Each structure stands twice: as C-alpha cells, then as structure tokens.
C-alpha cells in the first residue's frame, strides 16, 4: 500500500483558507476535519460530516477522537498521544467500516498534528475519502486521495518559501508534474492592480510533443517523488520552459475588457474552457497564441484580493480536463495565492524591519549624542557657575596682594605677595578660558580644516607667553584635513595644549608640531624635543601636568580632553622611537562624524 | 579737587579693594552695596565715573546704569563684572566701558583715566 502522507502545518492551514478550500474539497467529496489537542473535533466540512455521521444524536453529544474511533475502528485514538505529540503521522487506507446509519464505507484517512509556533496548543488536521462514495468506485477514490496528498505536498513546499519566484515555480510544478496534478503545461499570470491587468510571468511545460517525450522519459527514469521535484532535485525542462516563459511574458491582458478571462478574475470562479464552445475574441486570441483550445482557468485569490491567474492545459496528451481536475487546481491556486500574499507581506515586513533597524541605529546615535550634549551642557553650566563664583574672591585676593606689593614690603613679603599675585593671575586666566569654552560650546558645528585650526591656535599664543620665543614650529599637511565640530571649542583645546607645552614643558627645549592623517582621523601631533640630559625632567613635567597636584593644569587638560572626546576624537601622550614624548589630538575626518550635525 | 568715583558692587571685599586702590590713585571713592543706595546719594554732577557691577541681587547693573543715566547724564559708566559674556549683550553698548574684574586693576585704572581725561 502506498503511503501518501498528508503533511500539514499550521502555516498550511493558513495557506488553505477553510471556507474556500473546504467548499472545493466538498465538491471533490473529500472530507476535512480538525481535532484540538484534547481530542475534541472542532471543525469539519460537509463531506466529513456525512462520512462520520456527525449529525447523529450520539455523535453530536460526543465528538471526541475516542468516540469517532469507536465507530470507525481506525486506530486513531490508540495512537493519539504519539500523533498529538508530533511523533508520528496518521495514515490509514482501505478501512472498511459502516457509519452510524449503517452505510458501508471504504475510507482513506490521513492527517498529522499542526506544529504551532504561536504558542497555542497543537491541533490534528485530517482528511478522509470514502472510496465507495466516489463515482466510479475505489479507483477514483484512490486518485482523489492521492491528489489530496499532492495538494498537501505542494502546500508544504509553498510554506517553506518566502521567495516569490520560487513560490510561483512550486505552483506550476505541482500543477504539471505527473506525480502532481498532471497537467501538461501551466501558465501563470500576475495581477497588476495599478493597470488592472494580467501580465504573463512564468510558464512550465514542454513546448512540443517531441520535447515532452524526451523530458517525461527522462523524469520517469529518475523516479523522483513530487516532494523531490518541488525541492528542485530535478527542474522542469529548461529550454522549453524558457521558451514558453518568454512567450507568455509578452502577453498583457486588460481586465477592463469583457472576456471570459476577465470574468473568471472578477467573479473569482474557475472555468473549464474545454466545456465551453463559444468564447470571446480576447480569450480565443490567447488560446490561439498558446496553441491550445482545452484549458483550465483558475483565479488566484487571497482574502478577496486577486493575485493572478493560472492557465493549464493538456496540449500534448489531449487528456480531457475534468471539473475535478480544475477544482484540484483551484485548491492549489488558493494555497498559492495566500503564499504569494504572505511572501509579499514578508518582503514588506523585511523592508520595514530594515527601515526600523536603520531608524533604531540613528536613534541610538542620537541618544548617545544627546547624552554627550547633556553632559557637555552640564559641564559647561557648572564650569561657568564655578568660574564666576571664583572670579570675585580671586580679584580681591590678587588685588590686595598687588596693593601690598606697592607698599614697599620686606623682601620676603614681596616674594610671597608676588607668588600670590602671579598664581591668582594664572588662575584667572584659566577661568577666562573655561568661560570662553562654555560660550563656545553653544556654537554650531561645521566642517573645517584642522590645518587652519592648528595655525590659528598657535598664532593666538603670540604675545601671550611669558617668553618672547614661541619655541613651537608647526608643519601642516599639504592637503586639507577636514574634520567636523565646534571650531572655536576645538581651537581652544588646541590652544590650551600649545600653551601648556610652551609654558610648562618647553624651557629649555622646543617642540615640533605637525598635522597629518592617522587612518581615518586627522591628527595634530606635538613632539617635544630637548637635550638628552633634559628628557627625564621633561617627562616628569609632563606627568605633573596631568597630576592632581597641579589643579590648574590638570583642569585645563581635562577640559581639552573632554572637548576632543566629545567630538569623537582622542587626546593623549605617546613616545617616539627616540624616546621623546609627543602629545596628540586625533579627530575623525568630516565624513566619519556626520551624525554630529 | 579730586574727581569722585562711584562704585556699586554687592561684594564688600571688592568695594574695599576698589576704595583702597582707586583712593591710592587720587580719586575720592563712594562705594555702595546696591543700586538703590547709590541712587539716593547721587546728584547730577556729584561723580565723574560710576563703576557698576552687573550681577547684583536687588537691582541689576543694567537697571542701575539706566537710572544713573537719567539722574546724571554726564557721568561716565563702566560696567565691571566677572562675566565676560555680558560684553556681547546689547545693553552693555550703552556703557562707556566694559572691564572684566581682575586682580590686575591696571586696565580699570587706565579706563577711568581715559574717561576722566587724566591719563
């Protein structure tokens, strides 16, 4: 006994709309039914109702798997735990039994549990065919059951893909494979809502009887199952398929015109044109173009929305197309339509997800920026408040020190008063720079050349140092080094660095400053140079600059460092190969830091 | 007769420093802690120069400056504050000079001399 397993998942059910599909199954005298995880029958179509005798008084009271099994002796209840646990499928063929009315039946029952990803409890979906009820007896009943299996296989293949072209090819393979519905050729048209027209998209099948003979012989020798065909182990004939596809793609059919094809699409009702003798010119023209007269037309509809149209014929074998053939094709088309819509929705969701991801990334960057700005704002406010509060007492302390110096103090008093006056003056300078920093932090950011900034900051030092000689030589990169940020704020940071180097570190050495690229960062590097015997002293001074014991220089360095870090850069000290220290500022090049805009 | 200088500043130490330093330079200094106190004492021709702090609790230096302008139009007014930012405030343009407070009083003294024509 062959085993045509009906493999159904919840997604399959989504792609088999119950109202439409159940009606088609009823037409085919195929029963469909569903048990919940407790083994209670929760839905069924009319054929299943008739086969199982669900209108009977006892059955109406007790619609459980146990009750049904007691009637049919199918063995379903016995294996229920394994089946509902997803460990096995259920297939029973040639089950001879009687229903509650005493009618003799020969049943084929297949089914399996639906794996449920959404967290709700699993369900068992089954299909049943009574061979005795099928016209023509057991053989046709068996065919119906086999075709049901085909539909299930195609449904599985459809649910495993979200790629539109793969879905379309699966549909046509299911329609044309001899292991499937067995049509010779199938053509798929996609609906374009903007133009209200059908556009030929893809075709499957041989283009001639000779080619068909070769292909079918070849496929027969490989003995592939439908599942293998659908998985693409062996595609349909490429050459003929390509020719047919090329042919069909040239065809566009307006649904505004009155034609049988338009009627099928608008009414969402399939048509078996083999049984229609009079056809309009448009439909006749299409059939002539395809070289056929015997064609099935099935609309692809999902939730009332037309997705496309499948045409199928038996041009090569001239096998008559029955209404049951078309109904089967319609069930396939229904599943395909839902799969297509799902694929489109998936693409839309994917696009939205990518947009959301991008938006989230921007949001994250914005949040980080806001945090930085808030932080800088708080620092700025604090700096400003502290600086102003310190200004008055410093003025008084330094002012009185200066006054006392004018009163001819003793030598030792003069020395101490001078220290007080000088240190006060220096602290006032720091406060001035802090206040300027706060003011500058409120200014806008732009793209600018680090070369210009390095030059301007160095020029500012002129005349502001205690010594006439600057001692710092600047060498700028030959090309502009574009960076992004608050130019004045960064100029102050560079100025502070120059100032500290000139006042605190230089004597008795000098410094060479240069601008250059460090990867995707522009850099200002200040290399300190001194005689070999002064190197240790210079390094000690450098350490002291960052030391807590020197609050004035440390505060200045901290502000400079924070400014540079705020701009996405770095500030630090490194040693060259000859052991001399270098101070550096690195800032991201302008196109690296656009989010600061 | 020495020129008289009016100082309006809420900081007592600043008033003391200015009184001492400017006195040493030969000016007579009248220092007040608030604008209202100063306005009570000022006559149209009583002082050549007023040195006015801006940030004061009762009445701002700008308000004091406006009232002094009404009371003594010929009096030169120097805004003197710890806030360099007020220099950009358009109200500061009405003053004759803007000097940021500093322990180095030389800039202030130079400015007074300029305004009094004694430099």
ipTM: 0.79
Distance from CA of B90 to the nearest CA of A (A): 16
Of B17, B21, B101, the CB nearest to A391: B101
Question: A405: which chain B residues are within 8 Å (Cβ-Cβ)?
Answer: none
Q: Which residue of B has its CA nearest to A389?
A: B82
Contacts with A507 (C-beta within 8 Å, 6 or more apart), sequence order: A467
Separation in Å, CA of A381 to nearest CA in chain B:
13
pLDDT, residue A595, reads 41
Residues of A in contact with B16 (CB under 8 A): 396
What is the pairing mode between strands A446-449 and A482-485?
antiparallel
Q: For residues A65-89, b (16+ Cβ closer than 10 Å) or e, as one string?
A: bebbbebbebebbeebeebbeeeeb
Residue A217: pLDDT band (50, 70, 90) is low
Distance from CA of A405 to the nearest CA of B (A): 12
Confidence of residue A563 (pLDDT cuts 50, 70, 90): confident
The residue in chain B having the minimum alpha-carbon distance to the alpha carbon of residue A407 is B24
Residue A5 confidence class, pLDDT cut points 50, 70, 90 = very low
Q: Residue B22: how many CB atoms within 10 A of its CB? A: 22
CA distance from start to end of chain B: 16
Joined together, the tokens standing for residue A385 give 């408040």
Is B14's CB within 8 Å of A400's CB? no
Residues in chain A within 8 Å Cβ distance of B14: 392, 395-396
Nearest C-alpha in A relative to B13: A396
Cα torsion for A343, A349, A350, A356, to the nearest 10°?
Answer: 180
CA distances from A416 to A116, A399, A405, A419, A420 (A): 87, 14, 10, 5, 6
- Rounded to the nearest integer, the mean pLDDT of chain B is 88
From CA A85, how far away is CA A102, in angstroms rounded? 33
What's the pLDDT tens digit per position in A43-96? 888 888 888 877 766 666 778 888 888 778 888 888 888 888 877 778 787 888
Among A115-129, A234-248, A465-479, the range with the most confident prediction by mean pLDDT is: A465-479
B104 touches chain A (CB under 8 A): yes
The Cα–Cα gap between A124 and B84 comes to 82
Give per-residue pLDDT as tens, A252-283: 889 998 899 999 999 988 999 887 777 888 88
Contact partners, residue A452, CB within 8 Å, separation at least 6: none
Domain boundaries, chain B: 4-114
| Domains of chain A listed by start with CATH number | 1-160 (3.30.450.20), 443-597 (3.30.565.10)
> Which residues from chain B sit within 8 angstroms of residue A398, using beta carbons?
102-104
Q: Do A424 and B17 touch (CB under 8 A)?
A: no
Packing angle between helix A487-500 and helix A411-441, nearest 10 degrees? Answer: 160
**Partner residue opposite B14 with nearest CB, options A396, A402, A432:** A396
A/B interface, count of CB pairs below 8 Å: 60
In A1-93, which residue ranges form alpha helices assigned H by DSSP?
10-15, 18-27, 46-52, 57-61, 65-72, 80-84
Of B14, B17, B104, the CB nearest to A425: B104
Q: Which residues of A touch B102 (CB under 8 A)?
A: 395, 398, 425, 428
How does pLDDT run across A344-371, given as a tens digit for each residue? 888 888 888 887 787 777 667 667 766 7
Burial class of A564 by CB neighbour count within 10 A (0 to 12, 13 to 18, 19+): buried
pLDDT of residue A31: 84
- Please compute, for residue A332, the number of CA atoms within 13 A of its CA located in the half-sphere on the CB side: 37
pTM of the predicted model, to two decimals?
0.42
Q: Please say if the pLDDT value at position B29 is more than 90.
A: yes
Nearest to B103 among A387, A406, A424 (CB): A424
Is there a contact between A436 and A492 (Cβ–Cβ < 8 Å)? yes
Answer whether B84's CB lies under 8 Å from B100's CB.
yes
Residue A524 half-sphere exposure, CB side, CA atoms within 13 Å? 29
Distance to chain A for B12, nearest Cα, Å: 10
The nearest CA of chain B is from the CA of A500 a distance in Å of: 22
When pLDDT is cut at 50, 70 and 90, the band that residue A167 belongs to is confident
Instruction: Report the percent of chain A where pLDDT is more than 70.
Output: 73
Q: How confident is the model at residue B95 (pLDDT cuts 50, 70, 90)?
A: confident
How many Å lie between the alpha carbon of B11 and the closest alpha carbon of chain A? 8
Interface contact A391, partner B, CB < 8 A: yes
Report yes or no: B102 at the A interface, CB cutoff 8 Å.
yes
CA dihedral A154, A159, A161, A162 (to 10 degrees): 130
**Structural contact between residues A17 and A338, judged by C-beta atoms closer than 8 angstroms:** yes
Q: How far off is chain A from B22, nearest CA to CA, in Å?
A: 10
Contact A309, A326 (CB under 8 A): no
Asked if A424 is an interface residue toward chain B (Cβ–Cβ < 8 A), one would say yes
> Which residues of chain B lie closer than 8 angstroms to A400, CB-CB?
17, 20
User: Cβ separation of A396 and B104 shorter than 8 Å?
Assistant: no
**Chain B: residue whose CA lies nearest to A429:** B102
Structure confidence at residue B37 (pLDDT) = 93
Q: What is the pLDDT of residues A394-450, one digit of tens each?
A: 899 999 999 888 888 888 888 889 989 988 888 888 777 777 766 665 666 788 999
Question: Minimal CA–CA distance to B47: which of B111, B115, B103, B104?
Answer: B115
Question: What is B4-114's CATH number?
Answer: 3.40.50.2300
* B contacts of A385 (beta carbons < 8 Å): none
Say which residue, A294 or A197, is predicted with more confidence: A197
From the DSSP assignment, how many helices (H) and strands (E) are in chain A? 19, 18
Task: Let me know the angle formed at the C-alpha of A299 by A297 and A302, rounded to the nearest 5 degrees.
Answer: 160
């Amino acid at each position: 006994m062959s085993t045509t397993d009906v493999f159904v998942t919840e997604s399959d059910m989504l792609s088999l709309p119950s109202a439409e599909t159940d009606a088609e199954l009823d037409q085919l005298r195929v029963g469909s039914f569903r048990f919940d995880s407790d083994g209670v029958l929760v839905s069924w179509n009319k054929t299943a109702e008739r086969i199982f005798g669900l209108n009977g008084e006892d059955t109406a009271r007790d619609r459980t798997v146990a009750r049904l099994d007691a009637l049919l002796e199918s063995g379903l209840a016995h294996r229920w735990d394994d089946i509902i646990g997803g460990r096995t499928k259920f297939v029973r063929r040639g089950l001879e039994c009687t229903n509650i009315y005493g009618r003799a039946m020969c049943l084929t029952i297949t089914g399996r549990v639906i794996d449920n990803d959404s967290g709700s409890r699993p369900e068992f979906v089954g299909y049943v065919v009574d061979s005795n009820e099928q016209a023509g007896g057991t053989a046709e009943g068996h065919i119906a059951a086999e075709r049901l299996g085909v539909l299930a296989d195609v449904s599985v293949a459809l649910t495993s893909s979200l790629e539109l072209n793969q879905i379309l090819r699966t549909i046509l393979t299911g329609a044309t494979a001899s292991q499937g519905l067995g049509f010779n050729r199938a053509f798929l048209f996609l609906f374009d809502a903007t133009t209200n027209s059908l556009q030929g998209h893809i075709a499957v099948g041989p283009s001639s009887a000779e080619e068909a003979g070769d292909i079918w012989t070849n496929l027969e020798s490989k003995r592939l199952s439908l599942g293998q065909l659908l998985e693409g182990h062996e595609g349909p004939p490429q050459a003929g398929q390509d020719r047919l596809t090329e042919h069909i793609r040239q065809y566009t059919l307006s649904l505004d015109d009155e034609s049988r094809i338009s009627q099928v699409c608008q009414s969402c009702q399939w048509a078996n044109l083999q049984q229609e003798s009079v056809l309009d010119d448009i439909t006749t023209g299409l059939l002539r173009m395809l070289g056929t007269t015997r064609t099935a037309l099935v609309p692809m509809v999902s939730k009332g929305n037309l997705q496309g149209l499948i045409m199928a014929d038996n041009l090569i074998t001239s096998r008559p197309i029955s209404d049951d053939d078309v109904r089967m094709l319609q069930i396939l088309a229904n599943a395909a339509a839902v799969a297509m819509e799902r694929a489109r929705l998936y693409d839309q969701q994917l696009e939205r997800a990518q947009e959301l991801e991008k938006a989230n990334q921007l949001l994250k960057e914005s949040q980080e920026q806001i945090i930085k700005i808030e932080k800088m704002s708080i620092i700025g406010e604090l700096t400003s408040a502290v600086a102003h509060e310190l200004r008055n007492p410093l003025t008084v302390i330094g002012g009185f020190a200066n006054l006392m110096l004018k009163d001819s103090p003793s030598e030792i008093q003069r020395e101490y008063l001078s220290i007080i006056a000088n240190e006060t003056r220096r602290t006032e300078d720091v406060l001035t720079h802090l206040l300027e920093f706060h003011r500058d932090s409120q200014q806008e950011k732009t793209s600018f050349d680090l070369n210009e900034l390095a030059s301007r900051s160095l020029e500012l030092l002129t005349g502001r140092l205690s010594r006439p000689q600057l001692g710092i030589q600047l060498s700028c990169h030959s090309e502009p080094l574009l960076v992004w940020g608050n130019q004045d704020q960064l100029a102050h940071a560079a100025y502070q660095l120059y100032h500290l180097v000139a006042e605190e570190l230089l004597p008795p050495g000098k410094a060479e400053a240069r601008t250059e690229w460090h990867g995707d960062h522009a850099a200002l590097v200040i290399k300190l140079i001194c005689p070999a015997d002064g190197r240790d002293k210079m390094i000690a001074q450098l350490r002291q600059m960052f030391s807590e014991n020197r609050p004035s220089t440390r505060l200045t360095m901290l502000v400079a460092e924070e400014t540079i870090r705020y701009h996405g850069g770095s500030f630090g000290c490194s040693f060259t190969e000859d052991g001399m220290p270098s101070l550096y500022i690195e800032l991201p090049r302008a196109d690296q830091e656009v989010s600061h805009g | 007769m020495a020129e008289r200088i009016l100082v309006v500043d809420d900081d007592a130490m600043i008033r003391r420093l200015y009184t001492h330093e400017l006195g040493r330079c030969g000016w007579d200094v009248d220092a007040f802690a608030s604008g209202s106190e100063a306005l009570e004492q000022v006559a149209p021709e009583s002082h050549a120069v007023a040195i006015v702090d801006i940030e004061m609790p009762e009445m701002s230096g700008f308000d004091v400056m406006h009232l002094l302008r009404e009371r003594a139009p010929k009096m030169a007014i120097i805004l003197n504050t710890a806030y360099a930012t007020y220099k950009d405030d358009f109200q500061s343009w009405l003053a004759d000079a803007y000097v940021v407070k500093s322990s180095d009083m030389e800039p202030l003294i130079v400015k007074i001399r300029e305004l009094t024509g004694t430099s």
